[in-house]
């Protein structure tokens, strides 16, 4: 048994697409487990609680999964029991916990995406080395629409995402999400260069959302799974996932908040954008940095 792991930068449609794939009758979509952020549960707990408000909700996906799969439902009570289980099993490796989850839903294949997995080489390395037959999807989004989405999120929530988003060549540093887009996608490309061709696929999120029937069928065929119309239709309903809504008050998240509030597939929300021209989020440069444009072209964008 092996998982399907989606690797993507934040704001790359990963929540909705992961949930869509997880609705295939032979797959099971998970929220963000963040298990590859550490080697064992004790270290993972330290990571979860190391940065207060920023990582405080990173427990949620794992707790909701344990409550749902091992206790039958997601309530405040079962989430509290799930938290106790995690604390009582702090000597477990994170991979062994992942295996327990996979065993629970077998023979279905789990679909997992956690933004923390691509946050640095160490975390990504754990994902690549955890299971010998893991399939990987590199999910991408155009750097322009990605940047607009990131800046909208930062402005709306008042976030200051310091790791990788600031251009320190200016004084003061300028927030510029193209740097984050480049760093994460370049890291994924480099890591997957060492993975056999048959175990990896790049998927442009825009293509899947605009033409879901074709792209979902292509992914299912690559996975060796059913491609009949009923299976494809099921994947067009991410809102049917048990994790596609706000959870109990002690574990409400586990995925992107916008997706949880409105998890229905919306193909019309994808807008055409290009690489040429000034950036809406800064006026001191004429266009994307050359390295960003080059990588975007390699990933199929214009």
- pLDDT for the residue numbered 53: 43
Q: Quick one: pLDDT at residue 158?
A: 56
Q: What is the mean pLDDT of residues 238-246?
A: 98
**CATH 3.40.50.300 given to domain 4-143+180-270:** yes
pLDDT tens digits along 78-88: 999 999 999 99
Check if the beta carbon of residue 7 is closer than 8 Å to that of residue 139: yes
pLDDT band at 160 (very low <50, low <70, confident <90, very high): low
Cα torsion angle, 107, 33, 14, 143, sign = negative
Q: Spell out the domain ranges in the chain.
A: 4-143+180-270
Question: What is the rounded (10 degree) CA torsion for 160, 166, 168, 173?
Answer: -50
pLDDT score of 48: 81
Mean pLDDT over residues 232-244, rounded?
Answer: 98
Given a cut of 70, whether residue 59 has pLDDT beyond it is yes
- Average pLDDT score, the chain: 93
Query: How many C-beta atoms lie closer than 10 Å to residue 234's C-beta?
Result: 17
Average pLDDT of 30-56? 83
Structural tokens at position 229: 């119309």
Q: Across residues 196-212, what is the average pLDDT?
A: 96
Q: Give mean pLDDT, residues 146-170.
A: 77
Q: Is the pLDDT of residue 163 over 80?
A: no
The predicted model scores a pTM of 0.94
Q: Is the bond into 172 cis (omega within 30 degrees of 0)? A: yes
Q: Residues 194-199: what's their mean pLDDT? A: 97
Given a cut of 80, whether residue 297 has pLDDT beyond it is: yes
Coil/strand/helix, residue 68: helix
User: What would the two tokens of residue 188 be?
Assistant: 């994924």
């Amino acid at each position: 048994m092996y998982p399907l792991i989606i690797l993507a930068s934040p704001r790359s449609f990963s929540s909705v697409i992961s949930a869509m794939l997880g609705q295939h009758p032979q797959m099971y979509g998970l929220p963000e487990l963040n298990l590859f952020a550490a080697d064992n549960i004790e270290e993972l707990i330290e990571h979860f609680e190391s940065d207060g408000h920023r990582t405080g909700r990173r427990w949620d996906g794992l707790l909701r999964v344990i409550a749902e799969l091992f206790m039958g439902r997601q309530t405040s009570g079962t989430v509290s029991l799930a938290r106790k289980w995690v604390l009582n099993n702090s000597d477990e490796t994170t991979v062994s916990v992942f295996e327990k989850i996979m065993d629970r839903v077998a023979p279905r294949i789990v679909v997992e995406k956690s933004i923390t997995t691509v946050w640095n080489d160490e975390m990504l390395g754990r994902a690549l080395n955890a299971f010998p037959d893991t399939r990987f999807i590199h999910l991408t989004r155009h750097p322009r629409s990605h940047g607009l989405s990131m800046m909208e999120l930062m402005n709306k929530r008042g976030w200051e995402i310091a790791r990788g988003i600031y251009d320190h060549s200016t004084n003061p540093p300028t927030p510029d999400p193209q740097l984050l887009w480049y760093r994460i996608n370049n890291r994924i490309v480099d890591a997957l260069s060492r993975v056999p061709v048959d175990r990896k696929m790049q998927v442009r999120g825009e293509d899947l959302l605009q033409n879901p029937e074709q792209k979902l069928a292509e992914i299912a065929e690559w996975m060796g799974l059913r491609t009949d119309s009923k299976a494809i239709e099921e994947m067009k309903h991410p809102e049917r996932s048990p994790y596609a809504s706000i959870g109990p008050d002690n574990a409400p998240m586990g995925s992107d908040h916008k997706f949880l509030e409105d998890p229905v597939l919306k193909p019309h929300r994808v807008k055409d954008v290009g690489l040429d021209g000034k950036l809406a989020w800064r006026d001191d440069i004429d266009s994307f940095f050359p390295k960003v444009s080059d990588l975007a072209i390699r990933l199929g964008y214009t």
